[in-house]
Structure 1
């Protein structure tokens, strides 16, 4: 990095103000949530302070729509990580998950100013433009030039210099640099074209085989089609990328499902493609904020404007191209991020969130709704200025300015995030639990017998029927949300497989339908034969 650029970067970083970190949701993985392996103490439905970070000036937080771990950077350059750690993504030299934010000792000699978080890896940038990474490296997402070592438990240096910013998708990484002609470089899994090099690096594993694999790209490589542009901002979804250049144009590439690329179609893009909504008459300012979630993308465009596209709600059509989010029209946006299925925005002296949230990641509180189809204020944070936000798979991180908040912070819960030597313990089923469950079942059965004996009035019956209808409606709604959530989870983790089987001229969806029709046809044929057999028996 040139001395002039280094001085400007250092001065800019010194001016950054820190604040108090708040957490809501859970860092448990989708597998834990599906299997109900989530303890009551693992979920925070209100913004909560973490004991180990109370009073620590946090300037920047990072997570990702496929991440079950968190990264927080302090004003003095320390890097804290916590959450799931099955791939070593916390950088502490082990695979022990942690509830408590812990300083990455391997980075103690450096001042860390930016970070990105993937499905199982973490990449950071220091004040002098050096980049380090740790965690899962099966697809070369750490940018070390090799995939021989699939897991790096401690920070290793990336093969890239003059770094200005970094962002991570599920299994890939994007760096912005100050190198002329190579302002944006990528490494990792190329399956959907999210690296932007005009190919998905697909190949047959064996000759005359339909089994396909994708060649990893472990060395950071500049995107040739953007060599004449200076990329200022970047954001990564699970398998797609959004970027802003110095001329005010937005580019997207990668997986195109649900219209998340904004090109009015769902086709995958292997190279950066300009989003036509942002033309010369509607350019995006250089200080715009970008965000990308599992199924959507968004950007600010001047004062009081947010454009959003992709899958926005579980019901209704997708936004196939960028459209203004009228609910936030006129608001001055400070920061913004998108998670797996939810969004967080810091605007003026308010914090706003919306989306599907079965784990409390919207922060509305214990007696409030969990999910919201439309942007809604987080009431407990009203009046606070938000410095930074980050959204993970099922959690959110918010950094608020401590000045002019009075005793508001003191009213928030403080979590004693102490870890045991074994780290986060998984919930276990004990004999005592089994006995309690059996006793509870017996009590419910006895209560049921008593209810049968008691005569019920027509009013009670009506009320019970109405309540039952309401419960069924809520169950159907919850089932719809969980079904959609599962669909997105499966999609966001598809790229973890090394290879996929394909049949020429058929995709997975067609095979699924064909299989379904085959099963249906077989069942019909079996039923017909059975009826014929019965009729012959009767005749004889």
Structure 2
């Protein structure tokens, strides 16, 4: 399985051809306590294990994230399965019951799902006709529905984006890639560290006499204007930062800059996309490069040894 989560079968003249494979899983299965102070040691899967519900099912894509305690799997027929923590309905089944095994999201049964991404408590999927649906926590507008009126969406709802090819999720925000000219990368959600790329963190005082700060959500997906003249072909999101690559192989990062995760030789937040200097000139990334963003680091592959940018 490739680092991007897809099992790919390349055939000459048919770059869209994808074959499935068997899904193996290892790690924690105690969704209630994962990442919390209470540590459970039982029921951990300490070696790659078949998941009963997916035995005999050809899986072509899997998604989870550095801030997620839930998973998504897509089979070759475009069916979407989710499992894991579900306290904000991020599994899309209309309830808040955790699932220990992959379960089909029947609210998406009329669509063929080809791409997916997960945040801390939300999920975003892409259909074969380039629409996007999302479900789960929406307090910060991360579902891209244009509103935060419903703090939780228990079933899949349409995101206000079009002609989208890929989604990536940070903890509480989402980035989409689109084929619409001038809008190749679109973001929505929590702007706290500038991770949406629009030049602001939308910070404000909750009261005139208060020093308690809050961050105004951005529920309506918005194209990043500073990249309007670029065609963004790859995107990855960490907990609070974003990495993108354009069609010329240049790398941009923005958002939370702690630990050097943005690769700019300084631990400084960036509110708009900033070109990573090391990837200019001869070091541009090839078209088949893979990029990834963790909670405190970023990484990519290239024509030379892989790069990781973070403090060491």
Higher strand share: 2
Structure ranking higher on relative contact order (CA contacts 8 Å, 6+ apart): 1
Please name the residue that 1:308 is paired with.
308
| Root-mean-square deviation over aligned CA pairs | 1.3
Please name the residue that 2:165 is paired with.
164
- Report the CA distance between 1:175 and its aligned residue: 0.2
Aligned partners of 2:70 and 2:209: how far apart in 1?
Answer: 42
Aligned partners of 1:33 and 1:77: how far apart in 2?
Answer: 31
Give the TM-score normalised by the residue count of structure 2.
Answer: 0.93
Give the TM-score normalised by the residue count of structure 1.
Answer: 0.54
Query: Residues 39 and 246 (structure 1 numbering): CA distance in 2 closer, same or farther, change over 3 Å?
Result: same
SS of 1:142's equivalent in the other structure is coil
Please name the residue that 1:125 is paired with.
126
Does 1:199 find its partner at 2:189? no
Aligned partners of 1:200 and 1:118: how far apart in 2?
Answer: 19
- Post-superposition Cα deviations, 1:429-469, rounded to whole Å, max 9, x if no partner, equal xxxxxxxxxxxxxxxxxxxxxxxxxxxxxxxxxxxxxxxxx
- Report the CA distance between 1:33 and its aligned residue: 5.2
Please name the residue that 2:5 is paired with.
none
- Report the CA distance between 1:27 and its aligned residue: 4.4
- Report the CA distance between 1:87 and its aligned residue: 0.4
Does 1:106 find its partner at 2:107? yes
Please name the residue that 1:24 is paired with.
26
Q: Contact (CA 8 Å) 2:29, 2:45: kept in 1 or not?
A: no
Q: Contact (CA 8 Å) 1:27, 1:69: kept in 2 or not?
A: no
Gap regions ≥5 residues in structure 1: 1-10, 311-317, 320-540
- Report the CA distance between 1:207 and its aligned residue: 1.6
Query: Residues 226 and 28 (structure 1 numbering): CA distance in 2 closer, same or farther, change over 3 Å?
Result: farther
- For these two proteins, the number of residue pairs brought into alignment is 299
In the TM superposition, what are the counterparts of 1:349-360 in structure 2 within 5 Å? none
Q: Contact (CA 8 Å) 2:63, 2:72: kept in 1 or not?
A: yes
Please name the residue that 2:82 is paired with.
81
Query: Residues 115 and 129 (structure 1 numbering): CA distance in 2 closer, same or farther, change over 3 Å?
Result: same
> Runs of 4 or more off by more than 6 Å in structure 1?
none
- Report the CA distance between 1:305 and its aligned residue: 2.3
Please name the residue that 2:40 is paired with.
38
Aligned partners of 2:184 and 2:35: how far apart in 1?
Answer: 39
Aligned partners of 2:246 and 2:32: how far apart in 1?
Answer: 35
Please name the residue that 1:270 is paired with.
271
Please name the residue that 2:6 is paired with.
none
Query: Residues 85 and 157 (structure 1 numbering): CA distance in 2 closer, same or farther, change over 3 Å?
Result: same
In the TM superposition, what are the counterparts of 1:488-527 in structure 2 within 5 Å? none
Bigger CA drift: 20-29 or 251-260?
Answer: 20-29
- Post-superposition Cα deviations, 1:274-312, rounded to whole Å, max 9, x if no partner, equal 00000111111122100000011000112x5210111xx
SS of 2:281's equivalent in the other structure is coil
- Report the CA distance between 1:208 and its aligned residue: 3.6
Q: Contact (CA 8 Å) 1:241, 1:254: kept in 2 or not?
A: yes
In the TM superposition, what are the counterparts of 1:218-237 in structure 2 within 5 Å? 218-237=219-238
Q: Contact (CA 8 Å) 2:69, 2:85: kept in 1 or not?
A: yes
The structure with more radius of gyration? 1
Aligned partners of 2:34 and 2:169: how far apart in 1?
Answer: 23
Please name the residue that 2:191 is paired with.
190
Aligned partners of 1:33 and 1:141: how far apart in 2?
Answer: 22
Does 1:138 find its partner at 2:146? no
Query: Residues 33 and 180 (structure 1 numbering): CA distance in 2 closer, same or farther, change over 3 Å?
Result: closer
Aligned partners of 1:80 and 1:132: how far apart in 2?
Answer: 14
- Report the CA distance between 1:51 and its aligned residue: 1.2
Gap regions ≥5 residues in structure 2: 1-13
Please name the residue that 1:517 is paired with.
none
Q: Contact (CA 8 Å) 2:26, 2:45: kept in 1 or not?
A: yes
Query: Residues 32 and 57 (structure 1 numbering): CA distance in 2 closer, same or farther, change over 3 Å?
Result: closer
Aligned partners of 1:131 and 1:110: how far apart in 2?
Answer: 10
Q: Contact (CA 8 Å) 1:28, 1:68: kept in 2 or not?
A: no
- Report the CA distance between 1:104 and its aligned residue: 0.3
- Report the CA distance between 1:231 and its aligned residue: 0.1
- Report the CA distance between 1:120 and its aligned residue: 0.1
